Amino acid sequence: MKRDLLRGKEARNITMLGFWVNGALTLFKLFAGYAGRSQAMLADGIHSLSDFLTDIVVLIGFKITEKPADDDHTYGHGKYETLATIIISLMLAFAGYNILKAGLKNIYSVFNGSTLPSPEPVALLAAMISIVVKEVLFRKTLLVANRIESDAVRANAWHHRSDVFSSIGTATGIAGAIFLGEKWTILDPIASIIVSIFIFKVAIEIFIPALNELMESALPQDKMDEIRSILDQTDEVITYHEIRARKLGNRVAIEFHIMVDETMSITHAHDIATHIEKTLYDRFGHESIITIHIEPYIHEEYLYYQNESKKI
């Protein structure tokens, strides 16, 4: 419980920093886009607005996640963090869609004879400031995400990095439109389309793992192999079966059956289970939920479970 509170505090602190930075950048970019006559910068401002909104999602998600387990949520509230991650990815995809749509609309208008206004230097200045500020924010947020092992904060960090990509593309398009003349103002919306592709890529990379977790997918194969290796190295475990493991936010839930000598005392069997638990806690974190079912080794039962496992 104490670890969850400290973890939530770190997540809130870095997210609040992003919240205020994104709020200021959003206002500045929208102003620069409007005053600087840049569709790419307006699109970039909308992207920063989505960052601002996702900070709110993370703050709410962690407020719920740090609640202790209760009668209705006996495994805790970790899945709210997973849900927050999915919401972030969807908002990111929505931002990418709006940027793509605006860019295509402007390119279409150019091919139909319209002339796009040449952006003003203030739009380029806003893009350059955004690149520096959001790269610093990305690195600080990712550092915290890795320290507290939070997918939601990590997703938010990559949302900041997507804003860096967005601003690089925006700066390139605006600079080309300003310095190459009126005929090249189409570079502004082209840049916004390239940015949208980067944003979609990041959204998908965040969404798929979070969806798998929400759908109760097993831990990755290398993690499952580690669990089996720990059991294989426990001498008095004759065999094991029914291994299940999944993520619950920042923690994992692991359960399995072990078979021991049928003449072994309950105390001895309990000591073996305790040793396995300690090893798993050391590897997967002391907030893990580990359930071990102990059975006497009976050869016929072992053969039955072997046959059942082959059918899966």
**Structural domain spans, the chain:** 2-214, 221-311
- Domain spanning 2-214: which CATH class is it, in words? mainly alpha
Check if CATH label 3.90.226.10 holds for domain 221-311. no
The predicted structure's pLDDT at residue 312: 46
What's the whole-number average pLDDT of the chain?
79
What gap in Å lies between CA 151 and CA 145, rounded to an integer?
7
DSSP element (H, E) containing 293: strand 289-296
DSSP element (H, E) containing 245: strand 239-248
∠ CA(237), CA(243), CA(249), 5° rounding?
A: 125
**pLDDT at 294 > cutoff 80:** yes
What mean pLDDT comes out for the span 100-113?
81
**pLDDT at 256 > cutoff 80:** yes
What gap in Å lies between CA 135 and CA 141, rounded to an integer?
10
Domains 2-214 and 221-311 share a fold: no
What gap in Å lies between CA 53 and CA 246, rounded to an integer?
29
**pLDDT at 301 > cutoff 70:** no
Q: Which carries the bigger pLDDT value, residue 169 or residue 137? A: 137
For the entire predicted model, the pTM comes to 0.58
**pLDDT at 135 > cutoff 90:** yes
**pLDDT at 58 > cutoff 90:** no
Task: Say which residues have a Cβ less than 8 Å from residue 287's Cβ, sequence separation at least 6.
Answer: 3, 4, 250, 251
Tokens for 277? 């638990």
The predicted structure's pLDDT at residue 138: 93
Q: First and final CA of the chain: distance in angstroms? A: 37
What gap in Å lies between CA 140 and CA 294, rounded to an integer?
45
User: Do the strands 251-260 and 239-248 form a parallel or antiparallel pair, or are they unpaired?
Assistant: antiparallel
The pLDDT-based confidence of 270 (bands split at 50, 70, 90) is very high
Q: Is 20 left (phi over 0), alpha (psi -120 to 50) or beta?
A: alpha
260 phi and psi angles, rounded to 5 deg: -125, 170
Tokens for 18? 């992003």
The predicted structure's pLDDT at residue 119: 80
